[in-house]
Amino acid sequence: MKKVRTRFAPSPTGYMHIGNLRTALYEYLIAKHDGGDFILRIEDTDQAREVEGAIDMIYHVLEDTGLHYDEGPNKPGDCGPYVQSQRLPLYKEYADRLVELGGAHYCFCHEEDIQKMREQNSEGQIFKYQDPCHAISIEEARKRIANGETYTIRQTIPSNGITSFEDEVYGHIEVENATLDEGVLLKSDGYPTYNFANIVDDHLMGITHVVRGNEYLSSTPKYNLIYQSFGWDIPSYIHVPPVMKDEQHKLSKRNGDASYQDLIDKGFLKEAILNYIALLGWAPNGEEEIFTLNELIGAFSVDRISKSPAIFDIEKLKWMNGVYLRNMDIETFHEYALPYYQKTITAKVDLLELSKVLQPRVVMLEDICEAVDFIDQAHPFNIDLYTSKKMKTNPENSLEALKWVRTALAKTEHYDDDEALMNLFVHIAQEHVVKNGRIMWPVRVALTYKSFTPGGAVEIAHILGKEETLKRIDQAIEELEKAITA
């Protein structure tokens, strides 16, 4: 049995978008599930669209996510070079050979004229260029080329018959040859088109399985005709459905949709991102949704890839990211949180204690800055925050509760003991025959001037310490008295 070899072949045209990373992940999992090789190939033949720094970004993302390739530009094997712009003589050699085999022909038509015909084509009709250069013999064509005439090499497709193939996701596909356009394989500048270069490279690199978007289903018969002309083995095809931002629109880096780096910058964990995108079009055998990369290798199977588009649900990713954060030990979470504290907090507080409060509540690391910004300076006074129907609080009874708390807190020294502080607040509520929320809510607001806080009154008082807690309660009492009597 031939060793499984897959390849991730991105174009360096920008950041790594989610659909592209999912393709890399699936290629990696298919190879590693069967003990095969995962190859990285840079397809940079579209020089006009290449973005500076994009190749380095590809290397970084694969390294960061643990999708380590067995062969590639920085890890040469026997099939290099692994950058297409360094393989140009190969494409010319194989394009000329394909002409001799009858699978392609030299074309001297101007692209501008062909484009005009394409634009004049009746709407809804399949455009197939009727190339007059079919009638030119190879000998005559080569004389014209020797005389300096500009040319391309265009695929020759039979005018009748059917080309079929088996796809591991979509099953049996067949297309009438008469509907296939004879595309350019080698451009006039000597660069190959994607449709030719990837076939030559996949063959020479021994690729056994090709994963790509289902938009290439209609082009695959053209690729297979080239394989057949050369007498090469055709790889297994796995065409995957698109990743959608909603029911009508695909995720696209051209449209500015979130890239891998965007998600990292927002505080998503690389492990959560990789886990989530694995589930965009693939379903595990069972109810489990949380997988390490090694667990994905063991669980992944092509037969569970869906034919239906997958919608990128940021809320589901947030949930999954939260699971990963909560599953960390506190020391690891604290290390992740420290950079966000350093951006937001200058006051001296127990940051490890703050991490203990935040870990069960945070779903994105980026949320930390907003969650803790009250520590350095409370937000502006807002009397409306002291009204909560759920807690049955209003400014008047909040003022009353804060005065009770102020008296009790001034006498206690148990600011490092959450249980003692909680018992203190509960005792105040029992003493005045009110529910705990009537005490806790005003204290939380007084200490943060926020309705949503990273912890409850006990945790926040503990983090701020006695002096700062009393100072903020005094200020809240003063502001409430002014507002109520105004």
What's residue 118's pLDDT? 72
Identify the structural domains of the chain with CATH numbers, from first to last.
330-372 (no CATH), 383-485 (1.10.10.350)
* Mean pLDDT by groups of 10 residues along the chain of 486 residues: 94 89 98 98 87 93 97 94 96 98 95 76 68 93 96 94 96 92 93 94 98 94 97 97 84 68 94 97 94 98 95 95 97 97 93 94 93 86 92 93 94 83 93 94 93 88 91 95 90
What's residue 120's pLDDT? 72
**What b/e sequence results for 189-200 when a residue is b if at least 16 CB atoms lie within 10 Å of its CB, and e otherwise?**
eebbbbbbbbbb
What's residue 236's pLDDT? 97
Question: How far apart (Å, rounded) are the C-alpha atoms in residues 299 and 248?
Answer: 31
Cβ atoms of 141 and 151 closer than 8 Å: yes
Q: Which residues have CB under 8 Å from 115's CB, separation 6+?
A: none
pTM given for the model = 0.90
Name the catalytic one among 128, 253, 266, 270: 253
Q: Which residues have CB under 8 Å from 140's CB, separation 6+?
A: none
What's residue 380's pLDDT? 87
Catalytic residue check, 450:
no
Nearest to 8 by CA among 89, 73, 64, 86: 73
What's residue 122's pLDDT? 61
- Measure Cα distances from 398 to 443, 476, 482 in Å: 8, 10, 14
Cβ atoms of 160 and 177 closer than 8 Å: yes
